[in-house]
Amino acid sequence: MFKKTIMISTILAASLMAAEVTFQNAAPAQRVMPEAGKIISFNKAITHASKCVVNISAKKRIKQNIPPAMMDPFFRRFFDMPYGRMMPRERIERALGSGVIVTPDGYIVTNNHVVDGADEVRVTIPGSTKEYKAKIVGTDPKTDIAVIKIEAKHLPAIKMGDSDALKTGDLVFAIGNPFGVGESVSQGIISALGKDSVGINQYENFIQTDAAINPGNSGGALVDSRGVLIGINSAIISRSGANNGIGFAIPVNMVKRVATQLIEHGKVEYGYLGVSISDLTPDLRKVYKHKEGAVVLNVDAGTPAKKAGFKRGDLIIEVNGKPVKDASDLKNIIGAIAPGKEVAITYERNGKVRTARATLAEFPSDKLGGNGESIVDGLTLENLTPDIRKKLGIPDDIEGVIVSGVKAGSTADKAGFMPGDIIIQIEDSDIKSVQDVEEAMKKYPGRKRVYINRRGMIRILVVG
């Protein structure tokens, strides 16, 4: 018995010795110290950029409107509220943020949410106590970019980089006015690129960074280690409201495109194809040969997509030779192309790859999102057009936007929305258009009261 055990052990040892594992070992590294008497510093790199980042103070007059239901005489009597006490009141709301000087003659880029709805915008420049009154040149809520202008000459203008050339791990600096303390710089790296579906803007292609971004940094500069602008700081993900190491910046290439249009035309035009689209799910990837792209769910009548012959089920994989990764990628690519331009769109249909040409239209003002859905998940909205009023018998004195669709099981469905509901107010903001809904949803963080007219009855729903 003892001999058998030895034999088995010997065989086992031989088999283990035969199995060779090879690891990829790193070459030995040498630890080094900075040269004696020298300090590693990026001061020279960020000195110019810091002079280009301004502090912005925006003042807004907010009317505190009374919910329509409370205007009913029955409610006033029941709650003992005389009409005089029901009159709207006004309060002043102040917002602090940052901006970046982009031209020597006073054009400044910031976030739309910093100056949105402001009655007065004032700017202070680093190293000076002088306050400049700024004019709002143009705003673009879809990308959260705005341009303002002050009357000044020979200002330091920031140098622009190329956000398409960025790499994850690049060293970056966030410059701004956090918590209103004045000029401040924080350092980090690029954590990720091309972040979309964050739910902040309609067009998203964010740079993610762990450089500290706090309230007041909005609209400030994200620069590389040369001090060159690579993005405009926009938002953070945080439960406390302070920095948690997950910040987002709008890439400078998008900033340049939007700012140029705002300065030259006062508005931004987005290309429009006219399709409802979706990402490839794991199950859908088994159906298509290509594993990336945007699936066409619907083609709107009279749109460029309809004229080009697109159908439900087509998988769009390229636009002008540029690969399409997902639905958000397609929306960004199409949106960045000017209306009236012809594009070549490559797609897969029934296993075959085809190419169609389409001349893009201008994005319709009555559509909130590229896929027809609002920023409330599962809620499809439309403006109250004369045709809709006539079909549904909606009186002319009722203003708002109509809910034309609610996706089963969605956030909107769980909140209690129903097709035919008319959204008339969100918190203190009256709603007259789809654009008003978008702006109100951004204006009021957290849970929001949404007042709806449902077959003549006023109801309150809560979203957020």
Would the pTM of this model clear 0.75, i.e. be above it?
no
The one-letter amino acid at 261: Q
Domain spans, the chain: 45-149, 163-265, 271-362, 379-463
Return the pLDDT at 374: 45
Return the pLDDT at 8: 52
**Average pLDDT, integer, range 322-335:** 89
Closest residue by Cα to residue 359 from 295, 296, 272, 275: 272
Same fold, 271-362 and 379-463: yes
What tokens does 286 get?
């088994």
For the segment 377-428, what is each residue's pLDDT rounded down to a tens digit?
778 888 888 878 887 788 888 889 998 888 777 788 888 898 889 999 988 8
Question: In the beta sheet, which residues pair with residue 186?
Answer: 174
Is CATH 2.40.10.10 the classification given to domain 163-265? yes
Phi-psi sector, 335: left (phi>0), alpha (psi -120 to 50), beta: alpha
Confidence of residue 71 (pLDDT cuts 50, 70, 90): very low
Choose between 146 and 89: higher pLDDT. 146
Return the pLDDT at 73: 52
Instruction: Quote the DSSP letter at residue 163.
Output: G
For the segment 3-55, what is each residue's pLDDT rounded down to a tens digit?
454 455 555 555 555 568 888 888 888 888 888 888 888 898 899 999 999 99
Kindly provide the b/e burial profile for residues 401-416, where b requires at least 16 CB atoms within 10 angstroms of the residue's own CB. bbbeebeeebebeebb
CATH code, residues 45-149: 2.40.10.10
Q: What is the mean pLDDT of the chain?
A: 82
For the segment 199-211, what is each residue's pLDDT rounded down to a tens digit?
667 777 899 999 8
Return the pLDDT at 228: 93
**Average pLDDT, integer, range 340-345:** 93
Name the CATH code of domain 379-463 (choices 2.30.42.10, 2.60.40.1120, 1.10.3720.10, 3.40.50.300): 2.30.42.10
The one-letter amino acid at 123: V
In contact, 320 and 338? CB cutoff 8 Å: no
The number of residues in the chain equals: 464
Which residue is it, tokens 């998008």?
254
- Which amino acids are annotated catalytic? 113, 144, 218
Q: Cα–Cα–Cα angle for 345, 347, 349, nearest 5°?
A: 145
For the segment 223-235, what is each residue's pLDDT rounded down to a tens digit?
999 999 999 998 7
CATH code, residues 271-362: 2.30.42.10
Return the pLDDT at 76: 47
